[in-house]
Structure 1
Amino acid sequence: MTDPAPERLAFQVTRNLAATPKGEREKALESPGFGTIFTDHMVDICWSEKGGWHRPRVQPYGPISLDPAAAVLHYAQEVFEGLKAYRHADGGIYTFRADQNAKRFNRSARRLAMPELPEEFFLQSLHELIAVDGDWVPSGEEQTLYLRPFMFAKEAFLGVRPAKKYTYCLIGSPSGAYFTGGVTPITIWLSETYARAAEGGTGSAKTGGNYAASLLPQAEAAERGCDQVVFLDAHGNVEELGGMNIVFVKKDGTLVTPDSGSILDGITRNSLLELAAERGHAIERRPVPLSEWREGVASGDIVEAFACGTAAVVTPIGALKGEGFDDVQPTGSLGLSLREELTDIQYGRREDAHGWLRRLDA
């Protein structure tokens, strides 16, 4: 469902009269954690079958009122995105490859039979939120304003069909490092009982149900002393972690990443692979059998494995555990080197030769 639309929306802005005082905000930004503190405002845009996208507004952050029969509560029509706003040394606020988030948001929406949000509106919503909450973008090391756009079905009915009314929202959360221990190797639990997504399912969409499916195996991973869980497809191929893609580095310098229709197309992963290709590394996107991973580590053909995603950027994998085995992973340096290059671009410490950055406060 795609609507013809103007290039920009006329937003109504309602200021939060109970906005966080400057002193409290600055104290909160000293050590924000991840995803627990939120800015003073949010974006809200409505869609209906008859009216298309309408009533765009920036309003005080607060609870959302829903009818108990709202479709999202019963049939899970919901998609979301995740991206960051970075404070550069000159005080400017930038985001990274937001156009790719806008495109992926719409791919997810199509898979969930939801209306597509014009990319111009998606990008404009980022500017509108920063215009009122730019002071919430922290300036500390490894700190960002995490931006969470999401859309859900709000029509009240109990029939099984696509809803006819939706809400798009955008909220912001000042955040520090995703893993509290910093960028250190993590231990991965192999889930052979549960699947994250199925062939032909919603694995390639960024929708809440995929993450809900990962919570029980993630809890089991934690019970076994592991930081994250990795999933296999029905054919025994490695897919992804609960919320991150995975990349293997071979001894000849080739980077291999699992790829299929049930894996989320990671923007961070794509960016890292592009930077690696520019360094001369061969890139392979293909199914990766679990046996190839384990045997490759044992033989020395795989010299490094790392997880990557918007929140954590790059995290080395130090061990893979499963029922009856515990494989120590070789620790390489390529993943962290690519992480440094990528974050230098994101924070403005290195030239953006690709045009990936978009200034939000101008």
Structure 2
Amino acid sequence: MAAFGTQFMPNMAMATYTNNTWSKPEIVSSSSIALHPGAHVLHYASTCFEGLKAFKHDDGSVYVFRMDRNIARMQQSSDLLHLPPFPADLLENMILSSLANVIDEIPQPPSSMYIRPTHVGTEAAIGKAASPSTSSMLYVLLSQVGAYFTGGDVALRLLIEEDTMRCAAHMGMVKSGGNYASAMGPILRAKEKYQADQVLFCPQGDVQETGAANFILIDGNEVITKSLDSSFLHGVTRDSILTIARDMGMDVQERSLSVEELLERVSHPGCEAALSGTAAVLAPVGTLIHNGKEHVIGSGQPGPTTLKLRETLNEIQWGKQEDKHGWLRKV
């Protein structure tokens, strides 16, 4: 299978907002979109997106994982970016109709159909740097995907960055392209200087998130991650993993975690760390780099609790374990 997120279905669902009204969604070619060169999104970054997956079960049925949470988060992002609001059922119907059109092309696990709803401001007005776009475009891209990390389970290397944030604090809970762009410089420098896979942003010593995923520490029966606030993304996979950990009887703590405590805990035998996100699900972390020193987490290899949490989530998504939280929606 092609590199993650590079193989798209030929068609997508699209709706537009003009004159205070949403159009009826259409299935159109996904090869291109038409935007005026002065479109608000191109100049003032009025754009947000989501990432979720659809899975094919053994009986051939297809289910979308936690679509309601992703739609609600995209509505929140649109509101915080002052994009035109859209009703939840509009995007829900666009996602389901898009999947229904390619139902036979949704691959078997561990592959899946990645779903990328996108909302952009389209008003042609380069004088509106301090005003929102009055028109917008909402579309749903589909992409067949395999495993995010093609090399298998290799524990990641993270550089601890205490001087900068991933993005502006008031924009952290918005899933917007600009947030990823602002993190790219520190990530590229970390890769070049330390051969790090990602940067763990810890402004003023407060452990937050990496450039594209939430951070979770596992120490014995304790699962520790930063409590939700506006400074970082409220991950749907994060919430799912924490729910599963609670189901397993683990002590889940959503609270502040300092770099000092983090480095002290990773020296404990059996300690683990992981990154959670839709694409990677739960990726093990083996090394933290801080002030030029490398701190190996536990054995430095993928930990058993990390793998068990990921396996449990995957098996729910794949229909091999009971979906007792009502996370799956049939297409």
Which deviations, in whole Å up to 9, do the C-alpha atoms of 1:168-211 show, x marking residues without a partner? Answer: 01000101111121222111122344421233x21011011110
CA distance in 2, matches of 1:257, 1:180: 27
Q: Which amino acid aligns with 2:27?
A: V
Is residue 34 of structure 1 aligned with residue 4 of structure 2?
yes
- Alignment root-mean-square deviation, CA: 1.5
CA distance in 2, matches of 1:116, 1:294: 43
Greater shift, 350-359 or 72-81, is seen at: 350-359
Is residue 176 of structure 1 aligned with residue 146 of structure 2?
yes
CA distance in 2, matches of 1:314, 1:56: 34
Give the structure 2 partner of residue 111 of structure 1.
Answer: 80
Query: Cα offset for 1:302?
Result: 7.8
Is residue 264 of structure 1 aligned with residue 233 of structure 2?
yes
Task: Report matched runs for 1:223-262 at 5 Å.
Answer: 223=192, 224-233=194-203, 235-251=204-220, 253-259=221-227, 260-262=229-231
Which deviations, in whole Å up to 9, do the C-alpha atoms of 1:331-354 show, x marking residues without a partner? Answer: 532111011111001011112111
Q: Secondary structure at the match of 1:238?
A: coil
Q: Secondary structure at the match of 1:336?
A: helix
Is residue 188 of structure 1 aligned with residue 158 of structure 2?
yes
Is residue 165 of structure 1 aligned with residue 135 of structure 2?
yes
Give the structure 2 partner of residue 70 of structure 1.
Answer: 39
Aligned residues: 324
Q: Which amino acid aligns with 2:218?
A: V
Would the aligned equivalents of 2:167 and 2:183 in 1 still touch at CA under 8 Å?
A: no
Q: Which amino acid aligns with 2:307?
A: L
Query: Cα offset for 1:115?
Result: 2.1
**TM-score, normalisation: structure 1:** 0.86
CA distance in 2, matches of 1:345, 1:264: 23
Give the unaligned 5+ runs of structure 1: 1-30
Query: Cα offset for 1:284?
Result: 1.3
CA distance in 1, matches of 2:254, 2:83: 29
Q: Secondary structure at the match of 2:237?
A: helix
Query: Cα offset for 1:104?
Result: 0.5
CA distance in 2, matches of 1:153, 1:92: 35
CA distance in 1, matches of 2:37, 2:73: 29
Task: Report matched runs for 1:195-234 at 5 Å.
Answer: 195-199=165-169, 201-223=170-192, 224-233=194-203
Task: Report matched runs for 1:1-362 at 5 Å.
Answer: 31-48=1-18, 50-139=19-108, 141-158=109-126, 159-160=128-129, 161-199=131-169, 201-223=170-192, 224-233=194-203, 235-251=204-220, 253-259=221-227, 260-298=229-267, 300=268, 303-331=271-299, 332-360=303-331
Moved >6 Å (runs of 4+): none
Give the unaligned 5+ runs of structure 2: none
CA distance in 2, matches of 1:135, 1:34: 20
**TM-score, normalisation: structure 2:** 0.94
Cα–Cα, structure 1 residues 117 and 302, in superposed 2: closer, same or farther, change >3 Å?
A: farther
- % identical equivalent positions: 36
Query: Cα offset for 1:52?
Result: 2.0
Query: Cα offset for 1:309?
Result: 0.6
